[in-house]
Amino acid sequence: MALKSKLPHVGTTIFTVMTNRAREMGAINLAQGFPDFDSPELLKELLAQKTSAGHNQYAPMIGESSLREQIARKMQANYGRTVNPEAEITITLGATEAIFSAISALVHPGDDVILFDPSYDSYGPAVILAGGRPVHIPLQAPHFRIDWQRVREAVTPKLRMVMINTPHNPTGMILSGDDLNQLAEVLRPTDAFVLSDEVYEHMVYDGARHASVFGHEELYARGVVCFSFGKTMHATGWRVGYAIAPPDITREIRRVHQFNTFSIATPLQLAIAEFLKQQPSHSNELSGFYQRKRDLFLRQLQGSPFRWIPSEGTYFQLLDFSGISSVQDAEFADIVLRSAGVASIPVSPFYQSPPHLDVIRFCFAKKDETLIEAAAKLRQLERVAS
């Protein structure tokens, strides 16, 4: 029997590869984006209560009403915009499923979808599986900004969607309100959708504010915005996310979602809903919490051969190793793993056609002692012969 792959060029993700290697070598894992500290005690207690109370059967396909209502309150408080929890909010299996379901629902064979490289590794395959054509536009290093003229030049009658990610994984940059206005201007003459991955919405630093497609009236009219409780609750293993979109777009997303995952674990949804009710300030405390960790990590790196631009958002920090070696990033990440015992993520796997890159990504969603130990190891790195 001949097997024809739909994704012949896709292998095991770089996250799995580096995490497995870190485990095998007993290295400090600053590669994959998960905390090494636990979720809030109250959240865990609420989960135990909900399971003990018998909330263990199927949830509604669109999500538990109590959770959707709490999300609506949160969005109103954060962005000053009213959202209908019945018609515009869908609970998904993490933000990845929200993104996949939205692409599957809205992108048709032959459609163009603009992606900005480096782009998260699930975007391109989801577009290809929908029959679309990824159109990759590189961000401009070292600050990884969008070249809006290149975007204008990429607009064709086949354009169906533009995907953005802010705060941005893996670079840590954030889009501004002006960026959103420029995107709106570019798309005004088209019928294209905007899919905005905003899972790190509450991790924005140095007094900046998150510019959301949800808060932009013109873009939201053609938008899908995806979020993650895994990120905000320090519980990446729970895999609970949500998509917000206008009612007509939401109906199409739900047509796919119901045959994809159908519904998400009931006690998880109920526990998060109750946590949001009891601790409404939790999300707004995350920027300060993670900025302290970013700053600790960078302070500990003082005196190292690395250079950096402080991350504007997410819980990732790029470090420039050009003062140590001139090899490509994947090779240098391997050197760091073997020589320093610290796992990182190269940025090149996030590109369709990677340029020469001299930055690698580290996750600072870790205990303080983990960051201090990792930085001490990184400070010991010496110049590597090219």
Residue finishing a domain among 232, 248, 278: 278
Does 225 score more than 90 pLDDT? yes
On whether both 309 and 237 belong to a single domain, the answer is no
**Which residues, listed in sequence order, are joined to residue 223 by a DSSP beta bridge?**
194
Per-residue pLDDT tens digits for 279-330: 999 999 999 999 999 999 999 999 999 999 999 999 999 999 999 999 999 9
Q: Is residue 8 part of a domain?
A: no
Q: What are phi and psi of 137, to 5 degrees?
A: -120, 120
Does 386 score more than 60 pLDDT? no
Mean pLDDT of 156-163: 98
Tokens linked to 96: 């990845």
- Which residue in 314, 229, 315 sits closest to 275, CA to CA? 229
Query: CA geometry: angle at 25 spanning 295 and 12, to 5°?
Result: 85
CB 269 within 8 A of CB 64: yes
Per-residue pLDDT tens digits for 17-57: 888 887 888 889 999 899 999 999 999 999 999 999 999 99
Q: Which domain holds residue 239?
A: 53-278
Band (10; pLDDT cuts 50, 70, 90): confident
CB 275 within 8 A of CB 233: yes
Residue 14: the pLDDT is: 82
Per-residue pLDDT tens digits for 83-130: 999 999 999 999 999 999 999 999 999 999 999 999 999 999 999 999
Mean pLDDT of 192-203: 98
Q: Is residue 47 part of a domain?
A: no
On whether both 189 and 270 belong to a single domain, the answer is yes
On whether both 274 and 311 belong to a single domain, the answer is no
Residue 384: the pLDDT is: 63
On whether both 228 and 372 belong to a single domain, the answer is no
On whether both 85 and 229 belong to a single domain, the answer is yes
Residue 250: the pLDDT is: 98
Q: Is residue 321 part of a domain?
A: yes
Per-residue pLDDT tens digits for 355-374: 999 999 999 999 999 999 99
**CA 107, CA 113: separation in Å to the nearest integer?**
8
CB 194 within 8 A of CB 165: no
Mean pLDDT of 335-357: 94
On whether both 20 and 79 belong to a single domain, the answer is no
What CATH number did the domain enclosing 340 receive? 3.90.1150.10
Number of domains comprising the chain: 2
Give, as one character, the DSSP assignment of residue 186.
H
Residue 381: the pLDDT is: 87
Does 205 score more than 60 pLDDT? yes
Q: Is residue 9 part of a domain?
A: no
